[in-house]
A and B are shown apart, each in its own frame.
Chain A
Amino acid sequence: MENTRSKDWYISSFKKIEESLNGESKTPFHELRKNAISKFEEFDFPTIKNEEWKYTNIAPLLKYNFKQVTGVKISKKDIEKFLIPGLKVNLAVIVNGNYVPELSHFYKQPSGVRIESFRNMVLNDPEFLMKYFGKYASIDNGFVALNTAFAFDGTVLYVPDGAIIEDYIHILNVSGAEGENVLSQPRNLVITGSNSKVRIIESYHSMADNENLTNVVNEVIVGENADVEIYKLQNENMKSFHVNRTQAYQNRGSVFTHYSVTFGGSIVRNDTNTLLDAENCTGNLYGLYLTEGSQHVDNHTLIDHAKPHCQSNEMYKGVLNDSSRGVFNGKVFVRVDAQKTNAYQSNKAILLTSDAMIDTKPQLEIYADDVKCSHGAAIGQLDEEAVFYLRSRGIGEELARTVLIRAFANDIFETLTSQILHDHLNHIVYAKLK
């Protein structure tokens, strides 16, 4: 029942917005949105009967009528606390799904680099946008459909051939408004040319203490021999709902690295997919989630090996406290003819309490023979002998456990190139464990 009402709510919201669009509703770009809303009507929100959503029941999310909110005043000072101390970044600030130029700032970039709001692109250069928009993140469920239908703002980044962006680009998302259930649906597009390099931090935070819904879609096109790194940090309030689809498309010789770190949110669902569609690509997906209370964190990944001579590495780790629940579904797909594929996947979780739960499904689907694919999954608790070892050296039990959990989590951070980022994440883990 909830489901039907929710569906109608979003469809009528769409119609309302459509009426206020004036001329824009006649543009070819808007056709894409209209197409998406009809797909949404068809798909509706996923239920646990859907294999991909088997372990994640989104019913709590459907109890609220989330709506788009504009014009929330936010100052530079409010933003500061979300920044990573000591890290020099180009900053793009998104408030409730809308790009805020006054709060954003960029250093001088190599010529040809474009960092713009999605809104600007829609209005001024829709041809460019339409070359890429929706071409990679296919609409295969209600959330992607909804985001595509409400694709009004977000960030677009274009890095031309050979350009190297020195400093991190930090896309900082803040959601919330007093007394409102805010719907944020940023749509981000990253296009990189050959031999380019860019590192992006994508972080999510809350302002007010209300239930909000953030539903993001990122499309990332990695050019030939390009190197793209994305660090996703989810630190919204404990009532928030967060759905994220990141779809990468890799060209020959490219490297795509994605970190997904989840601390906040009540129901969080991440879909991180990469398509290795040319030879000699490398795809790296790393993830860490620390959950407490009644949080539910669901990480789905798909590594699609479509061409030979590629490799992928995947490592996800989780620490689950209280009555929180974790889900991991890692799919590695090796298509026919994707010979000489090397795919490695590992996923580990620690349950700290007897109320915590984890469901994991590491999945291999392989249609080529000359491959090396492996996956490992382990679920357990802290090694009592290791705790004893530390305690026998005069370290208190609580500290001993914290040390071990940090060491467990550190496997993920170890590969980080930036010491500042490493320290920052480590600090959050530490604060969270206290």
Chain B
Amino acid sequence: MSTEVSNVEELAIKDYKYGFQTEIETDVIPKGLSEETVRAISLKKDEPEWMLEWRLKAFRHWLTITKENEPAWANISYPEVDFQDIIYYAAPKQKISLNSLDEVDPELLKTFEKLGISLQEQKRLTGVAVDAVFDSVSVTTTFKAELSKLGIIFCSMSEAVQEHPDLVKKYIGSVVPYTDNFYAALNSAVFSDGSFCYIPKGVRCPMELSTYFRINTSGTGQFERTLLIADEGGYVSYLEGCTAPMRDENQLHAAVVELVALDDATIKYSTVQNWYPGNSEGLGGIYNFVTKRGACRGKNSKITWTQVETGSAITWKYPSCILQGDNSVGEFYSVAVTNNRQQADTGTKMIHLGKNTRSTIVSKGISAGKSNNSYRGLVRVHKKAENARNFTQCDSLLIGDKCGAHTFPYIEVANKSAKVEHEATTSKIGEDQLFYLRQRGIAMEDAINMIVNGYCKDVFRELPMEFAVEAQKLLSISLEGSVG
């Protein structure tokens, strides 16, 4: 057993597959953060006055909460972030108005190919509209014409600010106000770009919308701002996937994602996150401090978060649902994998406000190596939320004796008709299960993969087809050889 174990452990030290850096000229604002930086970003993007005002308000608020109120409650530890040592804006030097893929810098296209998201391929074969975010500015948008026929707006945030100011004005910050938390304030002040999507009344988006993020310029913090609105009866499924080049310096990523679902609308938001986790000693890697929140504003609305988190040195992320509308539904499916010295503190919040609201939480944590993986969740049933229903299952799998798995579920119930259930288990891979597979001639590693994949099935099932395959691959790469 022990020799097998060490063989397997060797395999664990597998290099980050997507570690490369593209040589592209970039347009960078000098390091540091001040009102000047905020103004400069806004100016570069040629934003209207109201947007700048909003950024400045957020920045001033951020100044008041800095230092002692920097969130420290999460079960993670990292050296203090020097916010003056970050480049807040980096855009590839390239004309942004493009009509077809041919005009895109071939160097850039190669990068995407290495990532396995060849735009042409995807455009032709899979029917996925990709709004690729390369560092901070969207450089290419596909399938836009097809979508616009249906009245769907799918563009970069900076474009939306220019062309759909009413919608942006109405919804930005309405789910995650800039006063929400430290990183949300920071993001509101300096966000560079992101995706914007609006699904009009009664429209079902015919394809999976997708965006890929990459952090490229060394030392750039990427501050994405994504806003998704599904109007009455609308439906959209949105995919977000991430990889980043190998770096030694820690990179900060503080994104904000806001979802708004009105009456009878449904939003599915799926994420596969595979940023550079740092090397096996915990050096480098991305700090992923993200605020994701969806508001089920309307009756019978539904928001589903599905996430597969395998990357980042530190993940600090709680995709949440505010169930305001009666009969609204919130769902959260998560697989979080940590290996080596990664730290993850992730979970969800389900805030039940409306009548007959329902929520489901399925969280699967896998920790290996010397990593720490925490589930932190809140289920709150307000006084007026009659017949609220929640089911939570959070399981942790431990691989190796140096890792940690933690659960911090908060349950707050103020209505007697609520039914809230919470179940959690922590264990290692069953030896009898392993033995069963091994004695049928299945290699150790394959056996473990099989068991882990089975363990995560509840979540993978929720992912769109294209993502499910990628997620399974990612999982086996992250775990390769980590089993003891």
Contacts and interface: CB of A to CB of B under 8 A. Distances in A.
5 contacts: A351-B413, A364-B426, A372-B425, A374-B426, A375-B422
Interface in B394-433: 396, 398-428
Contacts of B409: 361-363, 377
Given A366-B404, A369-B403, A377-B421, A359 B416 contact: no
B73 interface: yes
Contacts of B416: 351-354, 356, 381
Interface in A377-396: 377-381
B383 interface: yes
Interface of A: 51, 55, 336-337, 339, 349, 351-354, 356-381
B419 A380 contact: yes
Nearest to B400: A369
A66 to B, nearest CB: 30
B418 A380 contact: yes
Contacts of B427: 371-373
A351 B383 CA distance: 12
Contacts of A339: 401
Contacts of A366: 396, 398, 404-406, 426
Interface in B417-461: 417-428
Nearest to A351: B416
Provide the main secondary structure of the chain A interface: strand
Given A379-B418, A379-B419, A374 B405 contact: no
> Of residues B396, B405, B425, which shows the largest number of chain A Cβ atoms within 10 Å of its Cβ?
B405
Contact of B401 (A337, A356, A377, A378): A337
Contacts of B412: 55, 357-360
Contact of B422 (A337, A368, A369, A378): A378
Interface in B73-117: 73
B426 A370 contact: no
A361 B422 CA distance: 10
Nearest to B386: A354
B410 A354 contact: no
> Of residues A360, A366, A370, which shows the largest number of chain B Cβ atoms within 10 Å of its Cβ?
A366
A336 B413 contact: no
Nearest to B415: A354
Nearest to A374: B425
A377 B379 CA distance: 12
Contacts of A354: 383, 415-417
Contacts of A363: 406-409
Contacts of A336: 401-402
A351 B415 contact: yes
Nearest to B392: A377
A380 B383 contact: no
A368 B415 contact: no
Interface string B366-394: 00000000000000000100000000000
Contacts of A356: 414, 416
A339 B410 CA distance: 27
Nearest to B418: A379
Contacts of A369: 398-401, 403, 428, 484
B407 A364 contact: yes
A239 to B, nearest CB: 24
B404 A362 contact: no
Given A337-B401, A364-B407, A357 B413 contact: yes
A370 B401 contact: yes
A358 B413 contact: yes
B420 A362 contact: no
A357 B380 CA distance: 11
B428 A371 contact: yes
Contact of B424 (A359, A368, A374): A374
Interface string B181-212: 00000000000000000000000000000000
